Structure 1
């Protein structure tokens, strides 16, 4: 808890109370909404029920641990983003700490890894929506395609439109989740907390593994840091606000799921949010759950699409990708060429998954492995770059690095995916960037 306190103190400390004004246009509210959309994600649709089924009421311990572990990770990336607003995000920080080759590798992990998970997000939302409306697999694929189109079109018009959309989506989602919690509260029964660990305390581990999908997202907004009008002030404020909102919603939803629904079977667990809403609204609750699924999916997709597109343009600007993709890397620019690459990758993965009726789990785990690798190298860069700033910043970076190592172990064989991208990125450096340095001295 001492490290957590230090991390939060570091998060609130600013070198300049207001910070310099940049060419970006994102404000505090829009930045908070992007964070909430990226981290809250599609996990709210099923994970409270699935973790409750896996560990019983003891799953609440896993949720609490997730939130506590998120503090140092969020603190690290917020401190780095506020000190150096750059659309390169984690890649830019790794470049300062470890050099161009390492920056290229971490950039490729996110830019080529995140688009693989974007169709999974669409399928999550579409499957939940199909449960509300019916229509089978054809309807699910159609809903998923529609969600993908809306997500990418929102980013064609730039991050300002995307930020406004995100503010609407995240605000509506938070409101509906609060409503869901409140209508289920009268049905809460403290007796459902006994026995607290029906499957033993060891079941908390598998429950925590299920939550790793919800753990990702804190790095996404670093790629949009240059889009903030006052990054040194608003990035830290947005991160603290997002931590409070996300923590309250996750814990509230998980607690009321256990208290109101009690023992959950597989089918009930997968649609636990719909079950909660049905307690208060009857059959209308299923429709409302479908609306929440749309808002959740679009919010998460919007944040990842915007972040990946900006990163691709920044990588091209730094010669880590073909130079033609560099258009839009500057603050306020629209990286449409980079966005088209992200869209092409996601569309290819989506078509393959839809035609082969593939399960989304490989897409999720592949993306999680890539993002875990990004977190690991980003946390290591934070430990080096923040050592001259505050003690809390260094502690946060080291704590997040330890947490991410556990995350990578849990991904299992899917860690091969970021390893393969590492080889490809290093081959690119050897052929196109022979002058890339092995290390770059960090700036205090």
Structure 2
């Protein structure tokens, strides 16, 4: 039992062997852009429809609740990232503070989170890309635009596979090059959302906000196990806010991690919360939620409903161009977590080798193949909901790490200190646990089954091969 909770001594990036060091090319503007690029995407461009379908106009409250919980988690991440400026995010922090078996569960959950996030965003991008091509008079075969549905026709989402391949290729070129392209695309995305607000705001009709909460304020089970109500919507809209945790995976490639990581994490959360609330308010006010609730491209549909078909085409085009920033952020984070787990012996060590450009090209390509299969064959709402479960687990672990270190080592150097830590961290934990209970039952069961398989892998393969044990 003692071996299950053995802890890892964390080597900072400059303490790693020369052949394992990644190039330090990122500064805080790059990190803010990475965070905004990862956060602002599928949540507002695609999942706002899913959230409105489950909560009605009260989806505004769902955004506020999910954002508040994520803000508490972000403050905890900022403290841990500056204390332990090493790649691996919540997995690394858990290994250093809580012990190996906890770190494995968190790492296994992060594999679920990042892989499914990339798949979800790729499917969301596919919806906008297909809509944009249709506006140009180009129609792809129906079977090539979606995965197989229950009781429906067979299909493979080829556009989703295509965009994952493009982003993976970009990441293998180099971190600095990827960051520059990401910054440009983030600006395109922000301008697009500003255009939507400017065009749709004059059509705001207070009548569209009634009834404000048609499914109530709690979490009510509906058909097919779907959870309706404000909290039911918040549980899936939670997906819209995370992305800042991808910033913490960039610790070894940041020039001044003790300063820049905190700026990147908190700065991106503040900016994105403001953007979300404005866009969501305009969306539910311009058109009744029942019109766009089930759309795969809700903002473009809203614009078409108010007679702005030309602007809708521009928004769909910009979404098709800019949504890959989310893919880039999460595929980047996933490859870095896989890299650290391979260094620790939990994955084949050959996957940890870096290319001549100082990037983990092998693990990036392996990750891309894995998530492409998921994106090609799985519906959007299923993978988004399951991805949230993995994220909630990671957020709980990071908040717990903050509390444990505050008690175990109160005098430790903390370049960033979470304000009111004994209030903020417990709120993050309780909020995440409540959101988990608001997820669909099938999602909860699937998450527990995923971790049961993970523990079997740990005891059969990982535990004996862990570098800490050796």
1:118 equivalent in structure 2 = 118
2:382 aligned residue: 362
Return the alpha-carbon distance in structure 2 between the equivalents of residues 101 and 209 of structure 1.
27
More divergent stretch after superposition (110-119 vs 294-303): 110-119
Question: What secondary structure, in the 3-state scheme, does the structure 1 residue paired with 2:249 have?
Answer: helix
- 2: distance between equivalents of 1:256 and 1:154? 34
Partner of 1:272: 298
- Name the residue aligned to 2:362: 337
Query: Corresponding residue for 2:453?
Result: 420
1:45-85 CA deviation, whole Å, 9 max, x = no partner? Answer: 23333333433332211111122112111111121112221
For the 8 Å contact 1:49–1:264, the answer to whether it is kept is: no
Give the TM-score normalised by structure 2: 0.79
Say whether the 8 Å CA contact 2:69–2:432 is kept in structure 1.
no
Following superposition of structure 1 onto structure 2, how do residues 265-344 of structure 1 map, counting pairs within 5 Å? 265=291, 270-278=296-304, 282-328=308-354, 333-344=358-369
Q: Structure 1 pair 207/361, CA: closer, same or farther in 2 (3 Å)?
A: closer
SS in 2 for 1:333: coil
Distance 2:108 2:216 in 1: 41
**Per-residue displacement from partner, 1:376-422 (whole Å, max 9, x unpaired)?**
22222222124525563443322212222123322422222233223
Matches within 5 A, 1:176-195: 176-195=192-211
Preserved CA contact (<8 Å) 1:158 1:334: yes
Consecutive unaligned residues in structure 2, runs of 5 or more: 1-21, 135-139, 146-156, 219-228
Q: CA deviation at 1:246?
A: 0.6
Alignment of 1:378 with 2:383, yes or no, is no
Q: Could you give the per-residue CA deviations for residues 66-125 of structure 1, whole angstroms, max 9, x where no partner exists?
A: 221121111111211122211122111111112233323322332355224423321211
RMSD (CA atoms): 2.7
More helix by share: 1
Residue deviations 1:215-246, cap 9 Å, x none? 43232221112211111212222223212221
Distance 1:310 1:84 in 2: 15
Q: Map 1:198-213 to 2 at 5 A.
A: 198-202=214-218, 203-213=229-239
Q: Which residue of 1 aligns with 2:142?
A: 137
Q: Find the residue that maps to 2:46 and give its secondary structure.
A: helix
Query: Residue 420 of structure 2: SS of its match in structure 1?
Result: helix
Change in Cα spacing, 1:211 to 1:334, as seen in structure 2 (3 Å) is same
Q: What is the alpha-carbon distance in structure 2 between the residues aligned to residue 128 and residue 84 of structure 1?
A: 39
Distance in 1, matches of 2:209 and 2:283, equals 11
Distance 1:174 1:107, change over 3 A: same
Cα distance in 2, alignment partners of residues 236 and 324 from structure 1: 32
TM-score (norm 1): 0.84
User: Could you report, residue by residue, the CA deviation over 1:237-285 in whole angstroms, capped at 9, with x for unpaired residues?
Assistant: 2223212221111101110012111342356754330134346772222
Match for residue 65 of structure 1? 65
| 8 Å CA contact retained: 1:383, 1:397 | yes
Q: Deviations along 1:156-205, whole A, 9 cap, x unmatched?
A: 01221221122112121111101111111111123433443344444212
Q: Which blocks of at least 5 consecutive residues in structure 1 are unaligned?
A: 1-21, 438-444
Determine the C-alpha separation between the residues in 2 that align with 1:226 and 1:239.
15
Q: C-alpha displacement at 1:375, in angstroms? A: 2.1
Moved over 4 A (4+): 266-270
Output the CA distance in 2 between the equivalents of 1:267 and 1:251: 17
Change over 3 Å in CA distance of 1:382–1:136 after alignment to 2 = farther
Name the counterpart of 1:216. 242
**More displaced, 97-106 or 306-315?**
97-106
Asked if the contact 2:344/2:467 (under 8 Å) is kept, the reply is no
Quote the Cα distance in structure 2 between the aligned partners of 1:249 and 1:267.
20
Q: How many residues align?
A: 410
